[in-house]
Amino acid sequence: MSPKRKNIELIELLAEQAGCTYLSDLRLEDYRCRLEGCLQKMDIERYGEEEWAEAANYLTGTPKEEIATKVQARRLILEKCRKE
């Protein structure tokens, strides 16, 4: 990530770090290992609860209202990466 892009959204950062051409590529099986690696390295405190909930909702389909914490959101995404 370049210093000019400090305010990049979590989901956009994940797509960029995973090498996705499109944001929707994050949902593809081909990118699951890369996404998992990005999540393992990422500082969970870099983004707020809402942004983690939005990312987990987008990637897993879990309603945001059911995601209480950043840790839970990251866990849901990691579980999705390891499934299917």
**pLDDT at 65 (0 to 100):** 96
Cα–Cα distance, 57 to 50 (Å, whole number): 10
**pLDDT at 7 (0 to 100):** 74
Spatial neighbors of 46 by CB under 8 A, at least 6 apart, are 10
**pLDDT at 8 (0 to 100):** 87
Domain spans in the chain, listed from the N-terminal domain onward: 3-82
Which residue numbers in the chain have pLDDT < 50?
A: 1-4
Spatial neighbors of 53 by CB under 8 A, at least 6 apart, are 64, 67, 73
Angle made by CA atoms 58, 63, 65, in degrees to the nearest 5: 125
